[in-house]
Amino acid sequence: MLSPAPDVFPLPDKARQVLEAACQIFLEHGYSAATTDMIQQAAGVSKSTVYAYYENKAVLFQAVIEEECARFTDRVVAATSDAPDLAGLLLQLGQAYLSLVLSPRGLALYRVVVADAIRFPELGHCFYQAGPRAIQKVLAAHLGTPLAQEALDLEPIGAERAAGLFFSMLRGEAQLECLTHPALEESPSRAQINQWVELAVGTFLRAFGRSTARRTAP
C-alpha cells in the first residue's frame, strides 16, 4: 500500500479526509476503475460529504493531481536551498527529483495519468502543467540568474528549453526502466540514482558550460 503524504493545501478536515482517500484509491486502482463509492467508503464519510467538497470524480482527481504535484515541487525546491554553486544545485535538484519521480507514489501517479490521458486529456494537461512544467520553470528561474549565466551559455535555446533538456536527460532511462519493470518492488538505490544524476549533470555542463563549469562537471 502506498504511504500517505503530508498536507500541502490547507483544507477543512472532512475535505482533507476525502482527498487522502481519493489519492489512495486512484493510485491503487486507476482513474477509470475508481468510483466515488470506493472513495466514500475509504474516507469513512457519506456520499453527500464527498460531493459537498468535490462535485464529481474528475474534479476530485484534478485536486489529487494538483496536491501531489505541489508537494513534489515543494520538496525539490527545498532540496536546492543550500546549493553551493551551479553544479551543486543541479546535483541536489536532480537527486531530489529522481528520488520522487522513481518512488512508488511518483510512478503510480504517472501511470494513472498516462493511462487515461487519451480519454481525459484535460487531466493529462493538468498533470503536465502542475508537475513537469512547474518543475521545469523552477530550474529555468535558476538558470536565468546572473550567476548561472556566467557559468552557462544558453543563448542558442534559452533557459526554459535548457531546463527541459536537463530533465529529459535526467528521467529518460531511469523512469523508463522503472516503468517497464513493475515487478521490482524496491525503488532504485541511492547509488544508482546518484549515477543517473551525475551523468545528466556532467553532460549538461559539458554541453552548455563555459570553461569553469566544464571543469567542475561530475
- What pLDDT, in 10s, does the model give residues 121-149? 999 999 999 999 999 999 999 999 888 88
Is the model's pLDDT at 3 over the cut of 60? no
Q: Give the residue among 42, 38, 80, 76 at the shortest CA–CA distance from 57.
A: 38
The overall average pLDDT reported for the chain is: 88
Give the list of residues 6+ apart from residue 21 with CB closer than 8 angstroms, or none: 39, 40, 42, 43, 44
Q: Give the residue among 37, 49, 57 at the shortest CA–CA distance from 112.
A: 57
Residue 64 pLDDT grade (very low, low, confident, very high; cuts 50, 70, 90)? very high
Query: What pLDDT score does 216 carry?
Result: 56
Query: What pLDDT score does 212 carry?
Result: 54
Query: What pLDDT score does 13 carry?
Result: 86
Q: Which contacts qualify for 209-214: CB closer than 8 Å, 24 or more apart?
A: 209/151, 209/152, 209/153, 210/150, 210/151, 210/152, 210/153, 212/151, 213/86, 213/87, 213/151, 213/152
pLDDT tens for each residue of 5-57:
444 556 788 899 999 999 999 999 999 999 999 999 999 999 999 999 999 99
Q: Give the span between the Cα atoms of 104 and 109, in whole angstroms.
A: 9
Whole-model pTM: value is: 0.85
